[in-house]
Amino acid sequence: MTGRMVNISKRWGFHGVEALRNASTTYKMVMGFFVLLALAGAVVGLHGLLVGYHHVYGVTREISWGLLISAYIFCVVTSTGLCIVSSIGHVFGGEAFMPIAKRAVFMSIMFMFGGFCIIFFDIENPFRMAIWNVFSPNFVSNMWWMGTLYGAYLVFMVIEYYFLLEQNHTLSRLMGFFGLVVGIAAHSNLGAVFGMLHGRPFWYGPYLPIYFIFSAAMSGGCAILFFTTLGWRINPEIMNQRMERSVKAVTQITIFLISVIIFFTIWKIITGMVSEGKHLVIMSFLSGDYAINFWVFEVFLGMFLPLYLLIRSRGNNFNLILTATGLMMIGIFFMRYDIVIPGQMESVYHSMGVVEAADMLTYTPSFHEIMASLFGIAFIAFAYFAGEKMLNGHQLEKHEIVPEGGYICPGCGAIHYMEEGETEEDAMKRHHRIW
């Protein structure tokens, strides 16, 4: 048994609980903080479950999706995004993206779990879901497809991660491909859950399913940069020449994807301004109740500041990347919030001009909702910090597909190619122009 453990440790880069024990006090305190936060969130959430959510949550019959759904969407969007961006490397063979794959897939699974933790406290009867989702499926319901496909997605990602650890690259690639296909299907269905509610003009249409995919890719790029550079702050050893190249490539693609989302947002605003059903919501973004959410968080923190900082960083100023993507994660959270809540702020009877529906509906998250959301978020944060230590910064002796004739440079970690009659050492000398 002991021998087997050692073996796995070597193969998987698994350092076990021992690594947690050896961590610095500050590190332990950070982890402890997130554990306590997650526990507190779970306790408060369970309290809500026991006394009945309608007593403790801020949601109403008109605004029935609140902070929890926003937080859930934030988590699953990031999860899908991590899968999309990392698949460029380990599924489609983009070599520059390969080194980030392991951390990305790990975090993708954790974000998915975190999302499920949050939705557990939003759905009133989560246990019935497990039964009736199987025995009474409604194939025309986007909600059913979203739930089912995300379930399948999680399974594929877990299997893929196992094969990544096992360094079985053929199977991990296959599972990664299935995971990507199912993940994109699931995620566009999440967009369609909103996009197919034709009584809600702010959501209705093909915009949201499409936007969700691009937005996910942007979140994924941002999350990879954030977690990789944070990992570098924790353990500078994870950075080598290959990883630096990878961070640069992800920075480039993230800059591109932020531009895409800016483009999407501009047209959402412009088309919404001339649409009778969307006009009120759009105006509340521009100058109303949601102006701070929109301008400060969504536009400034979520798009323009990270765009500027990422361009300034040139992909190799890791501290700048860490700041930019950290702020961007906050901005992205508000982007999700700004999809979910404002879509419900106009009562369905508003256009009839009746007294009861004259005002816009308002929503403020309650303490229970905030804590239940933090349960999922804190779980993800804890999983990240624990993962960095236990999985040794997600490093492997060999975790990428090495092409024929190539080998991994023990010095820099990059793939080097040997010319005919050349030894590894000669090749290394040639590559690095040293010695």
Please compute, for residue 411, the number of CA atoms within 13 A of its CA located in the half-sphere on the CB side. Answer: 11
Q: How many residues bind other proteins (CB under 8 A)?
A: 42
Q: Are 57 and 86 in contact (CB under 8 A)?
A: no
Q: Looking at the chain, how many residues does it have?
A: 435
Least Å distance, CB 355 to other proteins, is 4
b/e for 13-44, b at 16 or more Cβ within 10 A? beeeeeeeeebeeeeeebbeebbebbeebbeb
Least Å distance, CB 212 to other proteins, is 16
Contacting residue, 141, 235, 240, 252, with other proteins by CB under 8 A: 141
Query: Which one, 127 or 435, has the nearer CB to other proteins?
Result: 127
Backbone region of residue 396 per phi and psi (left: phi > 0; alpha: psi in -120 to 50; beta: other values): beta
The long-range contacts involving 301-306, CB below 8 angstroms and separated by at least 24 positions, are: 301/327, 301/328, 301/330, 301/331, 301/334, 302/328, 302/330, 302/331, 302/332, 302/334, 302/335, 303/258, 303/261, 303/262, 303/265, 303/331, 304/262, 305/331, 306/222, 306/254, 306/258, 306/331
**Which residues inside 322-361 make contact with other proteins, applying CB under 8 A?**
344, 347-349, 351-357
Query: Which one, 143 or 305, has the nearer CB to other proteins?
Result: 143
Binding mask 60-99 for other proteins (x = CB under 8 A): -xx-xx----------------------------------
Query: Which one, 330 or 348, has the nearer CB to other proteins?
Result: 348
Contacting residue, 199, 364, 404, 419, with other proteins by CB under 8 A: 199
Contact between 274 and other proteins by CB under 8 A: the answer reads no
Least Å distance, CB 149 to other proteins, is 12
Query: Which one, 189 or 229, has the nearer CB to other proteins?
Result: 189
Least Å distance, CB 354 to other proteins, is 4
Query: Which one, 276 or 404, has the nearer CB to other proteins?
Result: 276
**Which residues inside 375-414 make contact with other proteins, applying CB under 8 A?**
none
Contact between 3 and other proteins by CB under 8 A: the answer reads no
Query: Which one, 15 or 279, has the nearer CB to other proteins?
Result: 279
Q: Nearest-CA neighbor of 186 among 138, 150, 151?
A: 150
Contacting residue, 47, 54, 233, 312, with other proteins by CB under 8 A: 54
For residue 416, give every residue at least 6 positions away whose Cβ sits within 8 Å of its Cβ, in sequence order, or none: 406, 407, 408, 409, 424, 427, 428, 431
Contacting residue, 24, 26, 136, 364, with other proteins by CB under 8 A: 136
In a 10 Å sphere around its CB, with 0-12 CB exposed, 13-18 middle and 19+ buried, how is residue 210 labelled? middle
Residue 166 CB neighbours (<10 A): 13
Segment near other proteins (CB under 8 A); pick from 3-11, 122-130, 154-162, 375-383: 122-130
Q: What are the residues binding other proteins (CB under 8 A)?
A: 52, 54, 61-62, 64-65, 122-126, 128-129, 132-133, 136-138, 140-144, 147, 193, 196-200, 276, 344, 347-349, 351-357
